[in-house]
């Protein structure tokens, strides 16, 4: 009996040991099935078309966006999607010019240069604040506009009319021009040359007007190429200027128009063949973040014996370099797949910032293919500079793409200024 009892006890203990071993193996396997890791990566070296701020500065204007809410977006993108770098500059063409004049100048007559027949001249009244109050100049009746060629005898009763047709403010308003402007279309007899435009009705001497000469389809077009954004740390605006069908050396004049409508004259120089418009030390930046600045360039030259005048205008964003991405990025992984990326910023003043990028994986041919776009925006302070980009592990797994994963098109924006601060075509490789 004792032997049977002893045998039963041994069997019971063996069963308990097996059960404990099974439980131990299950407990050891569960962490393997849900393995988490935290890794750190370093940003790649900048490439040719990448850009970033160098010295950090503090914005002085009130931010546009002051939301404290943190938002995250993860968007699935097709595998054939092309990740394109943002355009840092673009070109504007002009076949026209503008000149600002007073009522007194229009009454006495202003000089205009026409390089082809059938051009259009438009006179627009402008607001005047020189008296301390806002005064809008009155519209001009087109029948009171006279146009004479400099070579004509102004006292001759047989002076030929160079005006084919006229349009009053009401007619132009139906076409979408609601600025009380008047216009005249020149006839085919209005050949290239110098003219004098005069208004016979009595105008306020201090009234302000803008005269626009549009020479549609002219072979002489002025092309301006310059940056879309300009940091406050830059002392000049680099630009390229070209007049088609002309090899004459250009001598442009420049001005800077702020979002509030104020103008500043700019000195233009050439440095190693590169045109630059020098920014003034005083009031170089806009007084708020809401609008765009505008550079205006004017050229007056001779082409094939013809006098040609052109004005070209291009808007751009002026911003303060308020932050930059620190080189070390932390990543959390689940089962060998990245689930989030945490970016820290170098910054001096609190503000709302966004970080975005594209996650790519490698296909069977070893080529990088996009999986998703991730973007996050949050209010950050100098004591709390981290922003986390979420990733969708299910999207990554279902894509069929493998490591090494890459973060491409890494972009930092200051939403308080609505300005792009940096861009990296290849941000980092996640091994």
Q: In what order do the strands lie in the sheet with 402-414?
A: 71-76, 368-380, 351-362, 402-414, 419-430
Taking CA atoms, 284 is separated from 56, 123, 259, in Å, by 18, 30, 12
Two structure tokens written together for 368: 């990088």
| φ, ψ of residue 18 in degrees (nearest 5) | -65, -45
Q: Which residues contact 125 (CB under 8 A, 6 or more apart)?
A: 136, 137, 138, 139, 140, 179, 180, 181, 207, 208, 209
The CA dihedral of 292, 297, 298, 299, to the nearest 10 degrees, is: -160
Predicted model pTM: 0.84
Taking only the tens place, the pLDDT of each residue in 35-79 is: 889 999 999 999 988 999 989 999 999 999 999 999 999 999 998
What is the pLDDT, as a whole number, of residue 273? 86
pLDDT reported for residue 259: 82
Report d(CA 371, CA 399) in Å as an integer.
Answer: 7
Q: Is 184 exposed, middle or buried (0-12, 13-18, 19+ CB in 10 A)?
A: buried
The pLDDT tens digits along the chain (431 residues) read: 444 444 444 444 444 434 444 444 444 444 444 688 999 999 999 998 899 998 999 999 999 999 999 999 999 999 889 999 999 999 999 999 999 999 999 999 999 999 999 999 999 999 866 666 667 899 999 999 999 998 776 554 445 689 999 999 999 999 898 999 999 999 998 889 999 999 999 999 999 999 999 999 999 999 999 999 999 999 999 999 999 999 989 999 999 998 888 889 999 999 988 999 999 887 778 888 988 999 999 999 999 999 999 999 999 999 999 999 999 999 999 999 999 999 999 999 999 999 999 999 999 999 999 999 999 999 999 999 999 999 999 999 999 999 999 999 999 999 999 999 999 999 999 98
How far is Cα 160 from Cα 163, in angstroms, rounded to an integer? 9
Q: What is the DSSP string of 56-105?
A: -----SPPS------EEEEEE--TT----PPPSEEEEEESEEEEEEEHHH
CA 306 to chain CA centroid, nearest Å: 36
Phi-psi region of 43 (alpha: psi -120 to 50; beta: other; left: phi over 0): beta
Q: Cα–Cα distance between 114 and 184 in angstroms, integer?
A: 13
Q: Which residues, including other chains, have CB under 8 Å from residue 341's CB and lie 6 or more apart? A: 329, 330, 331, 357, 374, 388, 389, 391, 407
pLDDT confidence of residue 291: 87
- CA triplet 266, 267, 273: central angle to 5 degrees? 125
What local confidence, expressed as pLDDT, does residue 44 receive? 95
| β-pair type (135-136, 120-128) | antiparallel
Residue 161, pLDDT score: 80
Angle at 363 (CA atoms; ends 395, 399), nearest 5 degrees? 15
| Intra-chain end-to-end CA distance of the chain, in Å | 66
- Residue 3 is predicted with a pLDDT of 45
The pLDDT value given to residue 22: 45
Do 377 and 367 contact (CB within 8 A), yes or no? no
| φ and ψ of 290, to 5 deg | -75, -40
Q: How, if at all, do strands 306-319 and 229-231 pair?
A: parallel
């Amino acid at each position: 009996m004792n032997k049977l009892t002893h045998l039963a006890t041994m069997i019971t203990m063996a069963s308990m040991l097996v059960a404990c071993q099974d439980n131990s193996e299950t407990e050891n396997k569960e962490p393997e099935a849900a393995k988490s890791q935290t890794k750190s990566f370093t940003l790649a070296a900048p490439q040719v078309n990448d850009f970033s701020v160098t010295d950090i500065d503090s914005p002085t204007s009130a931010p546009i966006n002051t939301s404290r809410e943190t938002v995250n977006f993860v968007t699935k993108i097709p595998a054939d999607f092309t990740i394109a770098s943002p355009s840092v500059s673009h070109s504007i063409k002009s076949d026209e010019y503008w000149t600002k004049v007073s009522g007194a100048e229009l009454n006495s007559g202003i000089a205009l240069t026409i390089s082809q027949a059938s051009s259009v001249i438009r006179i627009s009244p402008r607001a005047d604040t020189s008296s301390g109050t806002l005064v809008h100049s009155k519209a001009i009746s087109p029948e009171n506009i006279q146009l004479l060629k400099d070579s004509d005898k102004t006292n001759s009763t047989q002076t030929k009319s160079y005006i084919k047709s006229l349009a009053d403010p009401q007619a132009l308003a139906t076409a979408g021009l609601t600025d009380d402007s008047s216009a005249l279309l020149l006839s085919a007899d209005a050949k290239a040359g110098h003219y004098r435009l005069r208004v016979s009705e009595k105008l306020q001497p201090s009234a302000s007007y803008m005269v626009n000469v549009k020479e549609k389809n002219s072979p002489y077009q002025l092309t301006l190429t310059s940056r879309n954004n300009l940091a406050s740390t830059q002392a000049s605006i680099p630009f390229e200027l070209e007049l088609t069908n002309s090899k004459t050396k250009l001598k442009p004049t420049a001005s800077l128009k702020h979002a509030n409508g104020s103008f500043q004259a700019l000195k233009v120089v050439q440095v190693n063949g590169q045109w630059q418009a020098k920014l003034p030390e005083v009031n170089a930046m806009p007084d708020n973040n809401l609008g765009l600045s505008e550079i205006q360039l004017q050229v007056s030259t001779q082409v094939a014996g013809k006098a040609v005048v052109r004005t070209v205008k291009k808007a751009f964003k002026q911003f303060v370099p308020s932050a930059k991405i620190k080189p070390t990025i932390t990543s959390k992984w689940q089962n060998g797949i990245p689930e989030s990326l945490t970016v820290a910023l170098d910054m001096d003043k609190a503000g709302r910032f966004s970080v975005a990028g594209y996650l790519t994986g490698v296909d069977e041919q070893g080529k990088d293919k996009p999986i998703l776009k991730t973007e996050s925006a949050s209010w950050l302070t100098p004591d709390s500079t981290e922003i986390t980009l979420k990733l969708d592990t299910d999207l990554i797994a279902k894509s069929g793409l493998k490591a090494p994963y890459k973060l491409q098109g890494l972009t930092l924006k200051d939403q308080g200024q609505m300005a792009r601060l940096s861009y990296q075509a290849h941000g980092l490789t996640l091994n």
